[in-house]
Chains A and B, each alone.
Chain A
Amino acid sequence: MIKVLTVAEMTVREILRRRAVLVIILMLPLAFYLSRRGDHLGQSIRFVCLGLGWALSTAALFSGSAARGLEPRLRLSGYGTGHLYAGRLAALWTLGLVLSAPYFLLIRVDADRVEHGAIALIMLLTVAVAAPFGLVLSVLVPRELEGTLLLLTVVGLQMMMDPAGSAARLLPFWFSREIATYAVDHTDGGYLARGLTHGTVCALALTVLAMTLASIRLRRRPHLRPVT
């Protein structure tokens, strides 16, 4: 447990020291929110949730990429892959919740005709999905730049694609629009149920995928035989 906590602590410290990145990540959802605040509050709420997802994925991507050089040697220094992965993910999830809290309060104060419980659910699922999503990207792409571009593409698609089309469901933050529709337009519970299912499946799948990729990357190679 000490190992997981130590990794989590150092992950948070690292992210907090990237001042510029931190400011952008903190402000971006706000910019999204304000962009449609005047004419369409519902759209504003959808955008802020997507903004949160993008911000946390980016933080996770940067964190995962930065750890590439360090993790193999930590693996040799007594850490299991699980310690490293759990610590990093826990830190990112915590960060995501902290990041979401002020935006939830904002919506709570600013918009009174929406289902606040559902908004909280979107944010929870967004945090749950975004952190492993960024970590998966950090393993799959060689550098932060490529990862950032990919994230932009995903969020861009998410905003433009018709949510009713089946292809849109392949995007990791599709649930966000579904539940938001329920929360803002007070539609039937089907939206909520579909969104909840999609979000949960995405969160689980990405968490498992990120874990698997980490285990492969940090695996013990069979040619190395410890002798006792």
Chain B
Amino acid sequence: MNTDAWLHALDGELRRRGIDPALARHVVAEAAVHLRDSRQAPLAAFGPPDAYAAAVAESVGSPVRSAPHRRSAPGPVRLEARGIVKRHRRRTVLSGVDLTVRAGEIAAVVGANGCGKSTLLRICAGLESPDRGEVRLRGTLGFCPQDGGTSDFLVPDEHFALVGAGRGMRRGAAVRAGRAYAAALDWDPAGAGQARFLSGGTRQKLNLVMAGLGDPDVLLLDEPYQGFDRGSYVDFWRQLWAWRDAGKTIVVVTHLLDQLDRVDTVLDLTPARTTEARA
């Protein structure tokens, strides 16, 4: 990693940790001076950017912005799935799954591979029919599939314009909103090439931005962080909390259990049994 890239990464990591931007600039500038004076490689002098940013954050005693401990009264029920049953051939994938999510809540759908997490999400989105059961939906829907969902030959701005037009947004507004969401995920889509040339992680960012465009009330996200680096993963959860605080209803499929303390509802689809527990 060269010095500029390291400094840039440090800047991002500091920002992510909620360090005051002015202070972050000072820290980065000071590190730059030190590196020039000492002629050392950044990794040798300071270690990885995220570790150094963590040490800085600890020193200045800034609150590490994690899940905001917000507990306002839950809003109205936005998504209600009742008795969802789905069989693939003769194998029962979902057997009577219930899920209720309110405005301003995040529900995590967890479980082993192949236990029907994506199927449940697609059923909630209306992209697949269940064998039994129904889904009640209050409001507009945004859906982020696990893969696909983008057009190989279009550039990100065109994706924003396309989704925006569906939501009744003007093109300029859609592109601006898309770029703003992208910036929150530490991605600058201006001048990015066609979607087929984007890396896996970046394409997922595009996917996620498309899902959030036009402010849908309910967001269904199917493991949208695949291919994200650690920093983007942190950004992703911060975006989720921002959406929650804005009163959105979020259902996110995940197999990473380290974030479960930061969601409101956990639906465990581990085979044959379904349990819904209030976190």
Q: Which residues of A contact B (CB under 8 A)?
A: 2-3, 6-7, 10, 13-14, 17-18, 66-70, 72-74, 76-79, 83, 220-228
* Contacts known (A70-B150, A223-B133); A6 close to B165, Cβ less than 8 A: yes
Whether A227 and B165, one on each chain, are in contact in the complex, defined by CB atoms closer than 8 angstroms, is no
| Number of B residues, CB within 8 Å of A | 39
B125 CB contacts on chain A under 8 angstroms: 76, 224
A224 CB contacts on chain B under 8 angstroms: 124-126, 134-135, 137
A72 CB contacts on chain B under 8 angstroms: 127
B130 CB contacts on chain A under 8 angstroms: 223
Whether A74 and B153, one on each chain, are in contact in the complex, defined by CB atoms closer than 8 angstroms, is no
| CA of A165 to CA of B126, assembled, Å | 47
B141 CB contacts on chain A under 8 angstroms: 76
Whether B150 and A223, one on each chain, are in contact in the complex, defined by CB atoms closer than 8 angstroms, is no
Contact of B165 among A2, A73, A222, A225 (CB under 8 A): A2
Whether A73 and B129, one on each chain, are in contact in the complex, defined by CB atoms closer than 8 angstroms, is no
Whether A74 and B162, one on each chain, are in contact in the complex, defined by CB atoms closer than 8 angstroms, is yes
Q: Tell me the smallest distance from the CB of A62 to a CB of chain B, in Å.
A: 10
Whether A78 and B145, one on each chain, are in contact in the complex, defined by CB atoms closer than 8 angstroms, is no
* Contacts known (A14-B151, A18-B153, A70-B149); A221 close to B165, Cβ less than 8 A: no
| CA of A220 to CA of B128, assembled, Å | 9
Whether B136 and A225, one on each chain, are in contact in the complex, defined by CB atoms closer than 8 angstroms, is yes
| CA of A220 to CA of B137, assembled, Å | 13
Does any Cβ of A come within 8 Å of B194's Cβ?
A: yes
**Hey, what's the 0/1 contact readout for B200-234 against A, CB within 8 Å counting as 1?**
00000000001101100000000000000000000
A227 CB contacts on chain B under 8 angstroms: 136-138
Contact of B142 among A13, A77, A226 (CB under 8 A): A77
Whether A69 and B149, one on each chain, are in contact in the complex, defined by CB atoms closer than 8 angstroms, is yes
Give 29 A-B contacts (CB < 8 Å), ordered by A residue. Answer: A2-B165, A3-B165, A6-B165, A10-B151, A14-B152, A17-B194, A18-B153, A67-B151, A69-B145, A69-B151, A70-B148, A73-B143, A73-B149, A73-B163, A73-B210, A73-B211, A76-B126, A76-B127, A77-B214, A221-B127, A221-B129, A223-B126, A223-B130, A224-B124, A224-B134, A224-B135, A226-B137, A226-B138, A228-B138
Of listed B129, B143, B165, residue having the most chain A CB within 10 A: B165
Does any Cβ of A come within 8 Å of B167's Cβ?
A: yes
| CA of A142 to CA of B120, assembled, Å | 24
Contact of B143 among A66, A76, A79 (CB under 8 A): A76
* Contacts known (A17-B194, A73-B143, A76-B142); A221 close to B128, Cβ less than 8 A: yes
Whether A77 and B163, one on each chain, are in contact in the complex, defined by CB atoms closer than 8 angstroms, is yes
Q: Tell me the smallest distance from the CB of B193 to a CB of chain A, in Å.
A: 10
A68 CB contacts on chain B under 8 angstroms: 148
Whether A14 and B166, one on each chain, are in contact in the complex, defined by CB atoms closer than 8 angstroms, is no
Whether B143 and A10, one on each chain, are in contact in the complex, defined by CB atoms closer than 8 angstroms, is no
Whether A225 and B162, one on each chain, are in contact in the complex, defined by CB atoms closer than 8 angstroms, is no
| CA of A159 to CA of B141, assembled, Å | 49
A70 CB contacts on chain B under 8 angstroms: 148-151
Having A69-B145, A69-B151, A77-B210, one finds 15 other A-B pairs with CB under 8 Å, namely: A14-B151, A14-B152, A74-B163, A76-B126, A77-B167, A77-B213, A220-B126, A221-B126, A221-B128, A221-B129, A223-B123, A223-B126, A223-B133, A224-B124, A224-B137
Q: Tell me the smallest distance from the CB of B153 to a CB of chain A, in Å.
A: 4
Does any Cβ of A come within 8 Å of B154's Cβ?
A: yes
A222 CB contacts on chain B under 8 angstroms: 129
| CA of A224 to CA of B126, assembled, Å | 6
